[in-house]
Amino acid sequence: MAYIEPAPLKDKENPFEAMMSRFHVAAQILGLEDEIYNVLKNPARQVIVSLPVTMDDGSIRVFEGYRVIHSTILGPSKGGIRFDPHVNLDEVKALAAWMTWKCAVVDIPYGGAKGGVTCNPREMSAGEIERLMRAYTQTMADVFGPDKDIPAPDMGTGPREMAWLMDQYSRYKGMTTHAVVTGKPLVMGGSLGRTEATGRGVMVSAMAAMEKLKINPYKATCAVQGFGNVGSWAARLLHERGLIVQAVSDLSGAYFNAQGIDIEKAIQYRDANKGSLEGFTGAEKISNDDLLTLPVDLLVPAATEDVITSSNVVSIKARLIVEGANGPTSSKADNVINEKGIMVVPDILANAGGVTVSYFEWVQNRLGYKWTADRVNRRSDRIMKDAFNNVYKTSQEYKVPMRIAAYMVAIDKVSKTYKYRGGY
């Protein structure tokens, strides 16, 4: 077999440490007391369960499941459930803390949590996934609750799995409980506007940042990495606001056109091509690494974590980065970005449109009422804009990058609330 050169090592970081390094800087600038630092550093609760599931061939397999509740200081905890072979407690802990900061930045009354099961849903039948989701829900039935802990979809789960979760929880309680989970199908209490919510929030954050940087959207160019839910909605909405989207990409590679990609055509192509842009015409094929270093005004990483790292950060030419993905910039790349004077709208702010509309889903479920898409969009745009302005003001006042400012806004809110509520 021919020798294959291994891919260059990226700054693959332990997600919990990456999050903590930013938390630490923000806490120091705020002068956070050691006692409160320790409270916020540690998850409030970590649940690990064994889930025996009967497989289609009659055998019984035992899966390991997690739910980490990082904080309930601001309200019931909120966070997705990930079905993936790489799920582990450390990752779930980091993602749970991330949710605490995200909810606090956009000022919604939730704490943070995350769940996961170590499994490979791509190798399981629908029936096996359903039994696993029902077993997980049943075991976590005392952890979940509309006023306690509200799950949502994450990698490897979607509306179908949330429907099973809602049904299993409702059976356990003996009453229909829509508000126990968000991200449900529209026909059973899902919210209009949820599908586009994260990409829409990315667009709102980008427009707000461009205003501050005095970038005229009608003359601005943009590159979007990732053409899934977040990336394609962000590209479409940015294009609608006048930007020339010069490049988009997915796992098949990146597609560049200096005059602008026809986003509607790219979406239609992807949908007709099993979700992939492979073979898309009307653009020159470049690599995902090339996309990141294009001389554009705005770069939107909306694919996966750790793509802007110490190995490529010096070549980044964008004036503005709006993080659609969670953790696309390694903490080692932060300093270079700051030295280069690039503004970054960080993930915990830029992609919080999704959790904001999840919150609206919960509110509608509790009201027993349905809002129009227009009402959902107007309210989430307002929340995103206010959050952006708040973080921007903090960054100006303390002369810190937007990422640190976002952590400061979040930590300040959670720590002040903790002091009012009091400990033992």
Residues with a catalytic annotation lie at 114
- Least distance CB 296 / ligand NAD (angstroms): 16
- Within 187-330, residue ranges assigned H as helices are 194-212, 229-240, 263-272, 288-292
CB 126, CB 50: distance < 8 Å: no
Residue 116 lies near ligand NAD (rule: CB under 6 A): no
Nearer of residues 36 and 283 to ligand NAD, judged by Cβ: 283
- Least distance CB 178 / ligand NAD (angstroms): 19
Which regions of 108-173 does DSSP assign to beta strands (E)? Answer: 111-118, 149-153
Segment interacting with ligand NAD (CB under 6 A) among 43-51, 114-122, 133-141, 222-230: 222-230
Nearer of residues 358 and 364 to ligand NAD, judged by Cβ: 358
Residue 304 lies near ligand NAD (rule: CB under 6 A): yes
- Least distance CB 396 / ligand NAD (angstroms): 26
Residue 74 DSSP class: S
Segment interacting with ligand NAD (CB under 6 A) among 27-35, 165-173, 219-227, 310-318: 219-227
DSSP of 87-122, one letter per residue?
--HHHHHHHHHHHHHHHHHTT-S-EEEEEEEE--GG
Residue 15 lies near ligand NAD (rule: CB under 6 A): no
Nearest residue relative to ligand NAD (C-beta): 228
Residue 288 lies near ligand NAD (rule: CB under 6 A): yes
CB 291, CB 283: distance < 8 Å: no
Residue 146 lies near ligand NAD (rule: CB under 6 A): no
Footprint of ligand NAD on 177-216 (CB under 6 A): 198
**Residue whose pair of structure tokens reads 């005004």 in the numeric block:** 297
Structure tokens at 35: 């006692």
User: Quick one: which of 113, 247, 325, 383 contacts ligand NAD (CB under 6 A)?
Assistant: 325
d(CA 314, CA 335): 11
Residues 6+ apart with CB under 8 A from 30: 408, 411, 412, 415
d(CA 61, CA 300): 40
Footprint of ligand NAD on 343-402 (CB under 6 A): 351, 354
Segment interacting with ligand NAD (CB under 6 A) among 11-19, 292-300, 302-310, 373-381: 302-310
Q: How many residues bind to ligand NAD according to rule CB under 6 A? A: 20
220 in the Ramachandran plot: left (φ > 0), alpha (ψ -120 to 50) or beta?
Answer: beta
CB 359, CB 192: distance < 8 Å: no
Helix (H, G, I), strand (E, B) or coil at 290: helix
Nearer of residues 220 and 307 to ligand NAD, judged by Cβ: 307
Residues that bind ligand NAD (CB under 6 A): 198, 225-231, 249-251, 288, 302-304, 324-326, 351, 354
